[in-house]
Structure 1
């Protein structure tokens, strides 16, 4: 529009006013197109978006890993660990040694 108006003013006293107006309109359209293209290129930008996430699940559980067993043998308290329930009694291995 601006190009056509400028062409009309410039060709006001000319016999080829329509031709100058048309040329002004084409020139204005071309300039407007160039400005529009430049703006589209200059207005571009990049955005970083998170597209995945990590979720955590905490699970607590108790697991029996063994039995700590205390027993009295020859007036002394001993302690051992077993992987199975010893029940009310526990087998003890004795090592016999000569007295001297």
Structure 2
């Protein structure tokens, strides 16, 4: 055997090793499953708060507007009544004194009676009162998907509910829904 033949066999053998390694690597790539197996799917919920205005009718009572804030009518009526009553009591100079005292006492009493009546004079009306309340509700936020690919488990969140498998492209799990072939 000459040297060139030995060199040729060595180069050829080396080429076979390189090609064989590439073929094994290519086979592994082709042998990879085109999908990842879904192990578990869990719905993820989020709480959503929505404002809403709620109104209700409420009975409101308040003191009626006073037409005679100085209570002149009660004072005058009480004074006249007290003066008439006092004039029936006394005789002579005592009559005048009793009339004046009756008028003063009657005026004060009439003033106080009118004051009490005004304080108890109440007006009731209906008012609408509104307030904003927050309504809470649960909404689907997505799915936590546990999957197995190349002997390893991992978890991802998707916005769709997957089936039994997830598609794989270039060794990565695809996180977009696959169109349904039936539709």
Bigger proportion of residues as strand? 2
Bigger proportion of residues as helix? 2
